[in-house]
Chain A
Amino acid sequence: MSISVKHISKSYDNLKAIDDISFEVKEGELFGLIGPDGAGKTTLFRILTTLLIADNGNAIVADLDVLKDYKSIRHSVGYMPGRFSLYQDLTVEENLSFFAAIFGTTIEENYDLIKDIYIQIEPFKDRRAGKLSGGMKQKLALCCALIHKPKVLFLDEPTTGVDPVSRKEFWEMLKRLQHKGITILVSTPYMDEAALCDKIALIQDGNILKIDEPKEIVKDFPKMLFNVGANNMYQLIKSLKNYKHQYSVYPFGEFVHYTDNRHNFNPEDLHHYLEAEKLTNIIIEKTNPSIEDIFMELAK
């Protein structure tokens, strides 16, 4: 195991940030922590990178104990925090040299690992980090986290606030790093990114709701799920929420995802009801649950 977390808890005053969390990440795995702000993701990252001490439980990272071996762990892991963490007044190249020097290495020594990413920001290597665009800052931060060739890479919400194109590129970079043998623990609030991980943990309010492979996780949805559409979205949501047999009603792209309380639910009944509610262009069709549906069902 590359990361092994056992019964970790952490509270701040009265707030339980993490409540008895356990999970394991295999070597070379791309593992996703999927959950909203305040779920406890950052606290967990800080514990695993030895920047914070847990109240209870223990954790092993790259065969090292986060408490006893904290100094060695820092040489074996790379950490990209959620907030931009580089020196704004240093140039791109200076930042990278600085991080390399701290870890007793040089840019040249591990250039192979960062080459694909660094090439994209190299034209700006004399620009101060503070003057880079969001996407370039993110790439520089990733290079700095990789420069000492870590065994395990921790990425805390690397794609938050990033547009879909840059997000896609970032995930392609992660896949390439994974193929070079690096274990990656990444957190994200975007549920669509979950599908790109080997394994995911859905996390909310300091608890893990579920751990599994993305394609396995969606198999456990307890209800039949329907796409419902009509001419007026607002009226449709209102009508569905007032329907006495509804179990869940969530807007989902151009449709509403609907589940019914009854075992013998007949979509025709709902169709008649919506017609009586003066809705037109009514569509009701079965659909497959996504990870977001599962998350909402578990968090309900």
Chain B
Amino acid sequence: MDTENVIIVEKLTKMFGDFTAVNAITFKVKKGEIFGFLGANGAGKTTAMKMLIGISNPTSGEANVAGFDVYTDPEDIKKNIGYMSQKFALYNDLTVKENITFFGGIYGLSRTKIKEKRKKLINDLGLQEVSNQLVGSLPLGWKQKISFSVSLLHEPKIVFLDEPTGGVDPITRRQFWEMIYQTANNGTTIFVTTHYMDEAEYCDRVSIMVDGKIEALDTPKNLKKQFNVESMNDVFLKLARE
């Protein structure tokens, strides 16, 4: 396996006034790895993620993402990562084609490149019939799959997924994870947050944040062994209930 690290975080900290939202977290993520970033609501996940994608300045500590420094090169980070969240995905009043074209443009792809990518994406997802329909009229599961593919348009090194599967039916959720596996298998790093603990088991490694700190980081198998429990759900409950 390739051991190149694409995310290197060292004592990364964010304070809001007296409140320490992220407290000196340290970890590394490898190329092509599926890294699960878990924690209770309010544990500091979103704040940490915002620093990693270059939209929030750390108070102290170091972070290098896709080869760029979060303090000095946040714009380069944004060009080299993809981002998808459940809350913001696609424009509902644009068609599938228009959304792809729009995001391709935002990512700075050439017209020919956009055309080529658009054709491939529509084919891969089997969207020929609905490519001229407004995204708002499509089922949630389709939107999520399109949204994920769109976040990969510019062939980023890392894609950040913020609760990508909330509310999606169980079959579509699994199809979504198959897309994630395939993407990781092609060498793209996946950084994902989720509240579904079975999805935590799909990750190569998982970190769990509690009150701003990373309290556990390992493969799901080792974490279960370490806490002497049967499932990731139990690991989570044991850690976060402290």
- The answer to whether B171 touches A160 (Cβ under 8 A) is no
Q: Is the interface of B mostly helix, strand, loop or mixed?
A: helix
Binds B, one of A35-43, A73-81, A89-97: A35-43
Q: Is the C-beta of A189 less than 8 angstroms from some C-beta in chain B?
A: yes
From residue 189 to 203 of chain A, which have CB atoms closer than 8 A to chain B?
A: 189-192
Known: A163-B39, A191-B170, A237-B181. A168 touches B237 (CB 8 A): yes
- The answer to whether A134 touches B139 (Cβ under 8 A) is no
A-B pairs under 8 A by CB, number: 95
Q: Is the C-beta of B9 less than 8 angstroms from some C-beta in chain A?
A: no
Among candidates A163, A253, A296, residue contacting B170 with C-beta atoms closer than 8 Å? A296
Q: Is the C-beta of A292 less than 8 angstroms from some C-beta in chain B?
A: yes
Q: Is the C-beta of A180 less than 8 angstroms from some C-beta in chain B?
A: no
Q: How large is the interface on A (under 10, 10 to 19, 20 to 34, 35 or more residues)?
A: 35 or more
- The answer to whether A295 touches B240 (Cβ under 8 A) is no
Distance A157 CA – B167 CA, assembled complex (angstroms)? 10
- Chain A residues with Cβ under 8 A from B170's Cβ? 36, 191, 250, 292, 295-296, 299
Known: A163-B41, A233-B181. A253 touches B198 (CB 8 A): yes
- Chain A residues with Cβ under 8 A from B220's Cβ? 254
Among candidates B41, B195, B221, residue contacting A133 with C-beta atoms closer than 8 Å? B41
CB nearest to B181 among chain A residues:
A234
- Chain A residues with Cβ under 8 A from B40's Cβ? 163-166
Distance A250 CA – B173 CA, assembled complex (angstroms)? 10
- The answer to whether A189 touches B167 (Cβ under 8 A) is yes
- The answer to whether B39 touches A254 (Cβ under 8 A) is no
Shortest distance from the beta carbon of B36 to any chain A beta carbon, whole Å: 12
From residue 212 to 233 of chain B, which have CB atoms closer than 8 A to chain A?
A: 220-221, 231-233
CB nearest to B42 among chain A residues:
A133
Among candidates A166, A192, A254, A296, residue contacting B233 with C-beta atoms closer than 8 Å? A192
Shortest distance from the beta carbon of B167 to any chain A beta carbon, whole Å: 4
- The answer to whether A161 touches B185 (Cβ under 8 A) is no
Q: Is the C-beta of B91 less than 8 angstroms from some C-beta in chain A?
A: no
Q: Is the C-beta of B71 less than 8 angstroms from some C-beta in chain A?
A: no
- The answer to whether A254 touches B201 (Cβ under 8 A) is yes
Q: Is the C-beta of B130 less than 8 angstroms from some C-beta in chain A?
A: no
CB nearest to B198 among chain A residues:
A253
- The answer to whether A299 touches B169 (Cβ under 8 A) is yes
- The answer to whether B181 touches A38 (Cβ under 8 A) is no
Q: Is the C-beta of A51 less than 8 angstroms from some C-beta in chain B?
A: no
- Chain A residues with Cβ under 8 A from B185's Cβ? 234
Known: A36-B169, A135-B42, A234-B185. A254 touches B221 (CB 8 A): yes
- Chain B residues with Cβ under 8 A from A36's Cβ? 140-141, 167-170, 172
Shortest distance from the beta carbon of B61 to any chain A beta carbon, whole Å: 25
From residue 111 to 145 of chain B, which have CB atoms closer than 8 A to chain A?
A: 139-141
Q: A130-165 toward B: CB 8 Å interface, digit per residue (1/0)? A: 000111000000000000000000000100111111
- Chain B residues with Cβ under 8 A from A191's Cβ? 170
Q: Is the C-beta of A204 less than 8 angstroms from some C-beta in chain B?
A: yes
With a 10 A CB-CB cut-off, give which of A36, A204, A252 has the most chain B CB atoms. A36
- The answer to whether A135 touches B41 (Cβ under 8 A) is yes
- The answer to whether A234 touches B184 (Cβ under 8 A) is yes
From residue 247 to 300 of chain A, which have CB atoms closer than 8 A to chain B?
A: 250-254, 292, 295-296, 299-300
Q: B190-201 toward A: CB 8 Å interface, digit per residue (1/0)? A: 000001111001
Distance A130 CA – B170 CA, assembled complex (angstroms)? 32
- Chain B residues with Cβ under 8 A from A192's Cβ? 233
Known: A36-B140, A38-B140, A163-B240. A251 touches B178 (CB 8 A): yes
Distance A39 CA – B42 CA, assembled complex (angstroms)? 29
Q: A5-31 toward B: CB 8 Å interface, digit per residue (1/0)? A: 000000000000000000000000000
CB nearest to A190 among chain B residues:
B196
Known: A36-B140, A37-B140, A163-B41. A296 touches B198 (CB 8 A): no
From residue 133 to 182 of chain B, which have CB atoms closer than 8 A to chain A?
A: 139-141, 163, 166-172, 174, 177-178, 181-182
Shortest distance from the beta carbon of A214 to any chain B beta carbon, whole Å: 16
Q: A230-249 toward B: CB 8 Å interface, digit per residue (1/0)? A: 00011001000000000000
Q: A196-229 toward B: CB 8 Å interface, digit per residue (1/0)? A: 0000000010000000000000000000000000
Shortest distance from the beta carbon of A191 to any chain B beta carbon, whole Å: 6
List 20 interface pairs A-B (beta carbons < 8 Å), by A numbering: A36-B140, A36-B167, A37-B168, A37-B169, A38-B139, A39-B169, A134-B41, A161-B86, A162-B195, A163-B195, A164-B240, A165-B40, A166-B40, A167-B195, A204-B169, A237-B178, A250-B170, A253-B231, A254-B201, A299-B170
List 4 A-B pairs, minimum CB-CB distance, nearest first: A36-B169, A37-B167, A253-B201, A234-B181
